[in-house]
Amino acid sequence: MSDVPPSGPLYVTRPDLPSLDEFIPYLREIWRSKILTNGGPFHQKFEEELSKYLGVRYIALFTNATIGLVTALQALRITGEVITTPYSFVATAHSLIWNGIKPVFVDVDPVTFNLDPAKIEAAITPQTTAIMPVHCYGHPCDVDRIQAIADTYGLKVIYDAAHAFGVKCHCGSVLTHGDLSVLSFHATKVFTTFEGGAIICGNDKIRQRINYLKNFGFADEVTVVAPGINGKMSEFNAALGLLQLKGVDRALARRQAIDARYRTLLAQVRGLRCLLPTGETVSNHAYFPILVQPDYPLSRDDLYDKFRGRNVLVRRYFYPLISEFPMYRGLPSAASSNLPNASRLSRQVLCLPIYPALTDDEVDRVVDILLTE
C-alpha cells in the first residue's frame, strides 16, 4: 500500500450533484412560471420519471422520508403496536411515536443487519397491526418471509426504504414489497433532492389517500377529507430530482467500483468483517459498513478516534441503538437481552466513506489507516 499523505477531510458520504450550469435552465423555468410548489409541473414530471426509473406503480413525493413514514402510517390507519428494528436511524421509530403507536423492537439478523423474520412471530400481540422493517444500508430484507408472517396474522407491512433507492431483490424492485415503502432523498443519500422523500404504493385508493394526507387533507378547494399534514415536495426539489435521474446510473456504477475496491483490499484483514455482498440482488452501495471484531488490534471506538485524528469522518451508523434513546429504553422490548445481535453490531460497526467523487487514492488512504498501527 502506498504511503499516501493525508489531505483534506474525507466524509462518510457526499452528495453527487449535477453541474450548476445544467440546473440553471430548470431554475429559469421555475422563475418564469412562478409555480413554486403544490404539485406543479416539475413535481408531476418527476413522479412519472421516477416511477419508470424505479419500476414501481405509484409514487407520492414528499418533503422528506420522516414525514413520508408518518403519513404512510396514517394512510393505512395503523394503530396499537408495530414491530420494528432497533438498528436504524431514529426517524424509523419516531414516526410511530408521532402517530401514538407503540414500537415493539425485534432483534436483527447478524448477517444482514435487518429485522430477523424468525423472531417476529413471538413479538406479535392482539394489539399488533403492522411490521415496519428497514432495508438497512440498502440490503433487502427477507421480504417473502415477512410477507408470509403478515398474511398469517393480518398485518400491514410498511418498509422504511430510506436507504434502498434503486435496490433490486430476486423479483425486481425491492420497493414493490409490502403495502408501502418510503424512500429518502436527503443530502446524505444515494439519490438526493437536498431534502426529499417518497412513498411507493401499488394501490390506487391508498395513493389517493396519501395525496390527500400530504396536502392537509384537501380533496378540492372546499373539501377536507382527513387531518392531513404539509408533506409536499417543492418545484425546486422536484426539478433537481429530475436532473439527478440523468446521472444516477453513473453514480451507482462508481459506488459499486468503490465497494469492490474496499472488499478486495480488506479481504485478508484480521478482525474486520464487511457486510456480505447481496448476491443475486442489485445493491446501491449506499454505505460501506465494517464490523470491528475483538481480534482487531483496536476497539471500534479507538479506531473511530484514529480515523477522526486523520481527518476521515467515519460514522457509527447505527450507534446508539434506537432502543437505547431515553424515549424508548423503558419499553420491555428495548431490553438489550432482547436485542443481542443489534446490541453487538451497534458496538462493532463503522461506516467508511463511500460516494461517487471518492477517488481510488482516497479509498487507499482509508484502507491504509485500517492496516497501519
**Vertex 62, ends 56 and 64: CA angle to 5°?**
115
Query: What is the nearest approach in angstroms of ligand T4K to the Cβ of residue 243?
Result: 17
Q: Which helix (H) or strand (E) holds 45?
A: helix 41-54
Cis peptide before 41 (omega within 30 of 0): no
Contact set with ligand T4K (CB under 6 A): 11-15, 64-66, 88-89, 91-92, 134, 160, 162-163, 184, 186-188, 197, 313, 315, 317
Q: Which of 223, 213, 186, 174 is nearest to 73 (CA)?
A: 213
Q: Is 368 exposed, middle or buried (0-12, 13-18, 19+ CB in 10 A)?
A: middle
- State the minimum distance, in angstroms, from the CB of residue 120 to ligand T4K: 18
Backbone angles phi, psi at 165, to 5 degrees: -60, 125
**Residue 292 CA from chain centroid, whole number:** 22
The Cα 268–Cα 258 span in angstroms is 17
Give the span between the Cα atoms of 103 and 125, in whole angstroms.
Answer: 12
CB of 127 to ligand T4K, least distance (A): 23
Closest CA relative to residue 72, chosen from 241, 225, 202: 202
- Closest to ligand T4K by CB, 101 vs 296, is 101
Q: Which is nearer to ligand T4K, 193 or 211 (CB)?
A: 193
Among residues 11, 22, 55, the alpha carbon closest in space to that of 165 is found at: 55
What's the min distance (Å) between Cβ of 294 and ligand T4K?
A: 26
* Nearer CB in complex with ligand T4K: 163/255: 163
Please state the closest distance from residue 212 (CB atom) to ligand T4K, in A: 21
CB closer to ligand T4K, 156 vs 315: 315
Cβ closest to ligand T4K, residue 19 vs residue 223:
19
Beta strands in the chain (DSSP E): 10-11, 58-62, 81-84, 102-105, 128-132, 156-160, 168-169, 172-173, 180-184, 197-201, 218-220, 223-224, 272-274, 288-292, 312-313, 349-352
By beta-carbon proximity to ligand T4K, the closer residue of 198 and 292 is 198
Give the CA distances from residue 194 to residues 63, 237, 241, in Å, rounded to whole numbers and listed in that order: 10, 7, 9
- Report the nearest approach of ligand T4K to the CB of residue 196 (Å): 7
For residue 11, the minimal CB distance to ligand T4K (Å) is 4
Residue position matching grid coordinates 445481535: 341
Closer residue to ligand T4K in complex, CB, 46/296: 46
- Residue closer to ligand T4K, measured from CB, 40 or 353: 353
Residue 161 grid coordinates: 426504504
| Choice between 155 and 233, CB closer to ligand T4K | 233
Amino acid at 331: L
How near is the Cβ of 46 to ligand T4K at its closest, in Å?
16
Minimum CB–partner distance for residue 61 and ligand T4K (Å): 12
Taking the least distance from each CB to ligand T4K, the nearer of 115 and 296 is 115
Minimum Å gap between C-beta 107 and ligand T4K is 17
Q: Closest by alpha carbon to 365, among 300, 314, 331, 301?
A: 314
Cα–Cα distance for residue pair 130/76, rounded to 1 Å: 10
